[in-house]
Chain A
Amino acid sequence: MELDEIYTQVITENSRSKEHRYQMQAPSVVKEGVNPSCGDEITLQLELDGNVIKDAAFIGDGCAISQASANIMIDLIKGKTTEEAKRLSGIFTGMIKGDVTGEDELDELEDAQAFQGISHMPSRVKCAVLGWHTLDEALKGVSEQQ
């Protein structure tokens, strides 16, 4: 295991970024996600305009991997439709599981490709997918409402 492949600059910087880490005024959806095995937790907040994710933020406590992944995810999904966000989540989870390897698809993940190496560390996979998993759960609630 090469530490420098895991703790890349993209990940360490994003793990401390405050850009999307705040309490939103009036989010339309709030979803908590926890990783019970290690206590990582995030609260994802989405502001929806119809089916468009107009704004998103999170608060959380956890390892560099989980916090960076949530931050990068928000970069990606802001301004996207809920359908597009779900599709990206599918690609991300597929990349981590090692099922998605096509370059075109991976390119869509932009900085989130930095987590590809995590697929070799089973104990950290849950950290990398926590944000995305919480997004899936949040959007499940939305589509049920609609």
Chain B
Amino acid sequence: MTDEKIRSYFPQLMSERGGIRPVYLDSAATSQRPEEVIDAISSFYRNNNANPHRGTYTEAEDATAVYEKARTDTASFIGADACDIIFTRNASESINLVAYTWGMENLREGDRVVITIMEHHSNLLPWQRLCRAKGAELVYLYMNEDFEITDREIDEKVTSNTKILAFTHVSNVLGIMSPVKKLTEKAREVGAVTVVDCAQSIPHMKVDVKEMGADFIAFSAHKMFGPFGLGVLWGRNELLEEMPPFLSGGEMIEYVREQDATWAPLPAKYEAGTQDPAAAAGFSAALSFIQRIGYDEIGKREKAVYDYAVERLKDLSCVELYGPFDIERYGAIPFNVKDVHPHDTATVLSADRVCVRAGHHCAQPLLKRMGLNSCCRASFSVYNSKEDVDRLCESLLKVRSQLGLGDV
């Protein structure tokens, strides 16, 4: 498939301003959406608009069918059962759900929650708050100087009083993968539940819940060509069955009396209030888009662009690159232009319609550990090309002089 063909699926990438098209290098924040996803959302509002799981008329039945189809699509996409797929607003909410239900019920004073230093705040703050509320200890797995979390680090820190082991599948800043197998094995050994943040991995690679061997998996539709406002939590059935509800309200009940209530069976128990069937329709379309292109093709294209970007950026004397180069990385490259604050770099790039993120990337403890306050991040998706990398580099060469600095 040609670069132009892939790009042409995404209307925003084709939109010219001042005669130039955008170079979108912020897919780790949110991906672009292909036309068919946008169409599916709009088609729901045009043809099937009603509140799912409420009315008995045809439109309401249609809305329910669209919404539930997204659930079965998601389930088959990750090798799960549909009743174990909970729709939330985003990956953050999915992780909060686990913290406030399983965590609140099961964590005791003196217990331990272990996470990695690479976590996005969404897989850090719910645990930090839970630990503070319960008098439990929050312990970090650190990387060694080669950016590896060693077996030794895991064996030392995942102790027998560890109740929760939460980790990102792929880092949103460094693009490196956690040692999933070792972590899930160790968790099983000590009897801890595992929560894996797949928000940054599932846009790039196949995630299969059985293969991963975790207890909970969270991700967001909007980072994988789907709509904003829809997140996924998959949980092991026994755990989802025994946990109390998170949010309560409409549709998540079996029977409500004046002083107590019983809960609906899975997955409705965790989906209080009106859900977003239009987003669900868009997500179904996003999943079939990924299946049509195929993870093999996605992976191959992204690796070629990623490797090319590293090679080109290494050659720019004004650029400082962070992270390891001898291990496989996915999606994100952190960097800075020497002596220039990342926000200024991003502003200069923006004048050439090159879109990169600048800041702490919702991973302040990681940045601090790397000795940085903030950095730029270029992140890639299937629609990026080597030409995008060339435009990034061309624009980066202007940054220092724009800020009144000479060559380095």
Given A3-B347, A61-B373, A63-B344: A38 and B358 interface contact (C-beta under 8 Å) = yes
Cα distance, A41 to B360, chains bound together (Å): 13
B357-376 vs A, CB cutoff 8 Å, 1 = contact: the mask equals: 01110001001000001100
CB–CB A64/B341 < 8 A: yes
B391-408 vs A, CB cutoff 8 Å, 1 = contact: the mask equals: 000000000001110000
Decide yes or no whether B236 CB sits under 8 A from chain A: no
Cα distance, A61 to B368, chains bound together (Å): 13
Task: List, in ascending order, chain B residues with CB within 8 A of A28's CB.
Answer: none
Q: Give B246 Cβ to nearest chain A Cβ, in Å.
A: 27
CB–CB A3/B359 < 8 A: no
CB–CB A38/B359 < 8 A: yes
CB–CB B402/A3 < 8 A: yes
A: number of interface residues (CB 8 Å): 24
Given A38-B374, A39-B373: A124 and B348 interface contact (C-beta under 8 Å) = no
B: number of interface residues (CB 8 Å): 19
Q: Give A93 Cβ to nearest chain B Cβ, in Å.
A: 20
CB–CB B350/A7 < 8 A: no
Decide yes or no whether A62 CB sits under 8 A from chain B: yes
Task: List, in ascending order, chain A residues with CB within 8 A of B351's CB.
Answer: 1-3
Cα distance, A37 to B364, chains bound together (Å): 11
CB–CB B347/A62 < 8 A: no
Partner of B343, one of A1, A3, A16, A63: A63
Given A3-B347, A7-B344: A13 and B404 interface contact (C-beta under 8 Å) = yes
Decide yes or no whether A127 CB sits under 8 A from chain B: yes
Give the residue name and chain of the B residue nearest to A64 (CB): B344
Given A1-B350, A1-B351, A7-B404: A65 and B358 interface contact (C-beta under 8 Å) = no
Instruction: Enumerate 28 A-B pairs (CB-CB under 8 Å) in ascending A order.
Output: A1-B350, A2-B351, A6-B347, A9-B404, A12-B403, A12-B404, A13-B404, A15-B403, A37-B359, A38-B343, A38-B358, A38-B359, A38-B360, A38-B374, A39-B360, A39-B367, A39-B373, A39-B374, A62-B341, A63-B342, A63-B344, A64-B341, A64-B344, A64-B403, A65-B344, A67-B341, A124-B343, A124-B347
